[in-house]
Amino acid sequence: MTNQSTTTNNTHNLNSTEDAKMKTTITCEQCGIEMTHHTDYIEVRNADGERLGNIYSADPGEDWEKITHGACPICDEWEDGNGHTCTADGWEGYAND
């Protein structure tokens, strides 16, 4: 069994190992979403594994850095880079496939 530490920020708790920056997937303990870092975007899924949407930005690496330090696209009400608010039900105003 692998030991896991919990990274705590003043607003969110993330399940992550100490090398969270190197992880490709991080789960927010507050809302349960899973965020996966890809080269050009961040994929977001709910706790059941259903895709909520993707986050596109000029610098996905910078956004991932924020996530590894406790930010959460859902809890912090980010936009997806296309003007849609990220919510636990999917991106507001956007029909997910």
> What string of pLDDT tens digits covers the 97 residues of the chain?
333 323 333 344 444 444 444 568 999 999 999 999 998 999 999 989 999 999 998 898 999 999 999 999 999 999 888 888 888 888 876 544 4
Residue 29 lies in a domain: yes
Per the structure, the complete domain to which residue 32 belongs is given by 5-89
Residue 25 lies in a domain: yes
Number of independent structural domains in the chain: 1
Tokens of 27: 């789960």
Tokens of 23: 């992880």
77 Rama sector, left if φ>0, alpha if ψ -120 to 50, beta otherwise:
left
Residue 73 lies in a domain: yes
Residue 68 and residue 55: Cα distance in Å, rounded?
15
Q: How many CB atoms neighbour CB 59 within 10 A?
A: 8
At residue 62, φ and ψ (nearest 5 deg) are -65, -40
Residue 96 lies in a domain: no
Residue 94 lies in a domain: no
At residue 66, φ and ψ (nearest 5 deg) are -60, -40
